[in-house]
Amino acid sequence: MALRVSCQSCEIREVLLSNKPIELIDLSPKATVPVLQFATGHVLEQSLEIMCWALEQNDPFGWFNPERGTFGDMLDLIKGADGDFKYNLDHYKYSGRYENVDPLFYRTEGEKFLKLLSERLDQYNYLFGTKPSLADYAIVPFIRQFANTDRPWFDALLYRSLHKWLNNLISSEPFNAIMVKYPVWQAGDDPIIFSSDILY
């Protein structure tokens, strides 16, 4: 989403994490996605790093400038999502990957972060004011995953502001524009170029 709104173009390679290509592992030994490689060979390995790099090039909607709070406040909230909440999300959504894990325990732990967000959103439509910022777009993918793990349970939660926020963001242009299915990349394939306006 950040690459799109900042009008950055890149070759995009869809991979299966169950069958990671050696090219991904060579670029990034952690072998998770996303990974952004520059023509210089420099590599960014974290979603937030990629978002920040893109917005440093061009930030037409002011995602770096929250109406309330500071850039540091946004980073702190994002770290909460990418830290304890992501840990709880993984153990809730993928409980079968771990030994002796009760997914409902981690769902309950994860809900604490949902409550925190909802309390913020009771004041404004977005996490740092009346318009979306870096924090909203960095955090919403985690919340969407958590919600979709057991949608009836999530929909029954009495966090009206959180539900409205989630629905607004997943129906937004930046989100829907990037939700495109790509063929799995293999060495030798013609490049697929992602840009702000077109895939070709």
pLDDT at 110 over 70: yes
Taking only the tens place, the pLDDT of each residue in 130-145 is: 999 999 999 999 999 9
pLDDT at 29: 87
Three-class DSSP category at 199: strand
Dist CA 43 CA 72 (whole Å): 24
Which has the higher per-residue pLDDT, 19 or 200?
A: 19
**Contact call for residues 23 and 186 (beta carbons, < 8 A):** no
Q: Residue 54 — φ and ψ, nearest 5°?
A: -60, -45
pLDDT at 199 over 60: no
Domains within the chain, CATH numbers bracketed: 2-62+180-194 (3.40.30), 71-175 (1.20.1050.10)
Q: Cis ω on the peptide bond leading into residue 34 (within 30° of 0)?
A: yes
Question: Based on C-alpha coordinates, what's the Rg of the chain?
Answer: 18
Report the chain's mean pLDDT, rounded to a whole number: 93
pLDDT at 200: 35
Three-class DSSP category at 163: helix
